[in-house]
Structure 1
Amino acid sequence: MKNLAFITMALVAGAALSTPALAYRGDYYDSRYEVRYDWATVVDVDPIVERSSRPVNREVCYDQPVDRYEPGYTARRDHTGSTVLGAVIGGALGNQIGKGDGRKAATIAGAVIGGAVGNNASHRRGDYYETSGTYVRGYETRCRQETAWRGNDDIVGYEVTYRYRGDTYHTTMDHHPGNRLRVRVDRGVTPAE
């Protein structure tokens, strides 16, 4: 019985001491016991590109031809009408004054004074009247908004191919990994976060 107990203890102790050695397989570790980190060599990196476009507004200005009407004016050169009208009115007023030969003199004096006043008034007034005008071509600056679409190529990630101990692996990453990639080695080989 003592021998049987001794043999059983020896077997249990031997099994306990040999368990880590059994778990080790070549350069890999069984994930039930240990995870380790190492470096893999990056062999290819391809960017993942998304095409996008966005509106770009800009103001476009140009000179627009515009025709404007400019009226023409002419000064009255004939002051005869005003002079005659003044003489008639002055003569009529002069005729109301005096009797006999005095009336004739007052009429003549009224006509002369009225003609002078009418002529003078027509010069001061500067009578102008519109004649035919002309159209003149000018330019006005006008602006409008235009929308153009500008395309962009945006890199949204990277397809990465890496090699670890002779085996090739693929993954997608949000950044460029460089020449080597830190990997987690357990049941498989995956990029370490």
Structure 2
Amino acid sequence: MNTLMRSMLLGCALAAVAAPAFADPPDWAPAHGWRDHHEGDGPRYAWARVERVTPIYARSGYPVRREVCQQQPGYVVSQERYQQGSGSTAGTLLGAVIGGALGNQVGHGDGRAAATIAGAVIGGAVGNNATRGPGYYSQEQRYQPGYQSCQVQQGWRAREQVVGYDVTYRYRGDDFHTRTSYPPRDRIRVRVDQYVAPDDGGYGGG
């Protein structure tokens, strides 16, 4: 009886010792790849090496207004002007003498002197007109200096803006391509499921 009891106790002790060796490892233990083969269906993440980053540019334009000025040269202006002919001095004097004599004969008393003067003035004017030559046109020239003329012109100015980045990265010996809105550094975080894809929230590490 004692021998049977000792055998049963020894068997229980061996079972208690061997049980932990065959039990599942704890959550924190790597267990020689057990976690990689027995994790759930959720995505896994890893880091891939960035091979090349190329900026992607978009070309656009915006309106601009500018003032354009030009120096206009000077030029000569020609203008014709009509000139009346002038009477001769002899004709004026002769008319004044004749007019004065007539006025002296017409006047009486104190009014004779006034009539003589008036006759001389009128006679001089008549004599001047009688000897006046025909009118003529003269050409007059003047220089118009140069000036600066300005006008506002509207055009377009082009500009380039970075809208993204074309990224080539290597994961486990294969090259992959993606586009990101930020410039990754030497590595990029990728999601590893059935396919390898970049993680949207995975910024490149330093």
Tell me the TM-score range normalised by the shorter chain.
0.5 to 0.7
Pairing 1:170–2:161 present: no
2:53 is matched with 45
Residue 160 of structure 1 aligns to a residue whose secondary structure is: strand
State the Cα distance separating 1:44 from its structure 2 match.
Answer: 1.2
Indicate the structure (1 or 2) with the bigger Cα radius of gyration. Answer: 2
Q: Which has the higher strand share?
A: 1
Q: Is the 8 A contact 1:95 1:106 kept in 2?
A: no
Cα shift at 1:176: 0.9
**Seq. identity, %:** 32
CA-to-partner distance for each residue in 1:17-54, whole Å, 9 max, x for gaps? Answer: 59x9898446xx7552x444443221111222334444
In the alignment of these two chains, the number of paired residues is 163
CA distance in 2, matches of 1:191, 1:67: 74
**Highest RCO, 1 vs 2 (Cα 8 Å, sep ≥ 6):** 1
Give the corresponding residue for 2:67: 59
CA contact (8 A) 1:91 1:106 kept: no
Instruction: Tell me which residue corresponds to 1:98.
Output: 108
> Where in structure 1 are there 5+ consecutive unaligned residues?
1-15, 119-129
Letter in 2 for 1:108: T
Contact persistence 2:56–2:166 (CA under 8 A)? yes
Q: Rate the CA distance shift 1:168–1:103 in 2: closer, same or farther, 3 A.
A: closer
1:107 aligns with 2:98: no
Closer, same or farther: CA 91–179 of 1 in aligned 2, 3 Å: farther
Could you tell me which amino acid in structure 2 is paired with residue 63 of structure 1?
Q
SS in structure 1 of the partner of residue 183 of structure 2: coil
Aligned with residue 147 of structure 2, among 137, 140, 146: 140
Could you tell me which residue of structure 2 aligns to residue 122 of structure 1? none
User: What's the CA shift string for 1:89-143, capped at 9, x where partnerless?
Assistant: 88877766425xx66545335456x58xx9xxxxxxxxxxx94311424212112
1 CA distance for matches of 2:100 and 2:184?
A: 113
CA distance in 1, matches of 2:79, 2:95: 30
Matched residues in 1 for 2:102 and 2:188: separation?
Answer: 123
| TM-score with structure 1 setting the length | 0.53
Give distance in 2, aligned partners of 1:40 and 1:178: 11
Please say if 1:69 is aligned against 2:77: yes
